[in-house]
Amino acid sequence: MKPKLQIVSFEEVQQCCRSVELAPVTLYLTPEVLEAIGSTVGSKPPETGAKLFGPSALAGADVLEFDVRGSARAGQAVYTPDSEWGDKRLAYWLLRPDADQRLWTGDVHSHPNGYGLPSSEVGEGLGDLGYARAVLEAVEWMDHFFFPIITGALSGEPRLWPWVMTRDRLGEAQYAQVVVSDVSDFPPRQFRSSWSTAVGDQTPTPAVQELTWTMQLDLEEVAELSRSALSRRDQSFLFARAGTGVLVALPEDFPRSGPKVEMVLAGRHVPLGVRWRRRHQTRAEIRLKRVVEYAFICASREF
């Protein structure tokens, strides 16, 4: 019989820590994800973890992926996510077709001995609070990061402590109310509202050169979809966001051949290998937008 996952109430959390505040955001989970948490992280030895993903336009999680290697390395001591695996899963979901595209919503992991409070920040990216802070500092589009903690693993009655860190309260954990519902009832996803469109001290100028590839391509739409500013740089196009740039060079036979992409910050250029599918050449704007988004995520980690 699968363990039933119980959600710890705000009142109970306050009994453990009176200073805890109620977060302005809510954690939306599908019934399937709630059950999956209980049957993976909630049914294995403490200090295991998993990642939560949800629709790119909706707030919540409808996909859970268990971190096999990171959990195994923990050995019931301290869980540290497998970053290599995690980066690949983020990229995989980001580059999926429209309806299947998913964004990172949070991580869930377990604690031993019924201790449901987040561990303190003990160094850069270390401890639950340090890890959540590092995620928000690295992933520029995130407005908040959920990191629920599971206690009572292996007991048959696992419990979920729903924690979240918001960008305006870095280093602090707040209690997030949980709503279990179908994806159709998820609200719109909130993105960081203060994205900048400048790269360093340079202000992008409009790209006005007429495009002459094998098909029409609306680069302004790509910029709008990726929430970036567009400008021309020699024979390439620069998409700029939050002090980071993505330089894209399109070959003459585009979209039969894929773009060359570089990440740009403070004058430093780093080439980025991208996979480009030659089939289904319609709606190249959507496909190019995914490449640009992927490059922004890689740039936030690279720099």
Q: Write the pLDDT tens digit of every residue in 87-129.
A: 888 888 887 877 888 999 999 999 998 889 999 887 676 789 9
How much is the pLDDT for 303?
Answer: 59
Residue range 290-302, pLDDT digits in tens: 889 888 888 877 6
The phi-psi region of residue 243 (left if phi > 0; otherwise alpha if psi is between -120 and 50; otherwise beta) is: left
In this model, does residue 207 exceed pLDDT 50?
no
pTM score, whole prediction: 0.67
How much is the pLDDT for 197?
Answer: 38
**Average pLDDT value for residue range 214-227:** 78
How much is the pLDDT for 8?
Answer: 96
In this model, does residue 156 exceed pLDDT 50?
yes
Burial class (CB in 10 A: 0-12, 13-18, 19+), 240: buried
Structure tokens at 168: 């305006």
In this model, does residue 168 exceed pLDDT 80?
yes
Residue range 231-258, pLDDT digits in tens: 887 678 888 887 788 999 988 777 778 8
**Average pLDDT value for residue range 271-299:** 77
Amino acid (one-letter) located at 66: F
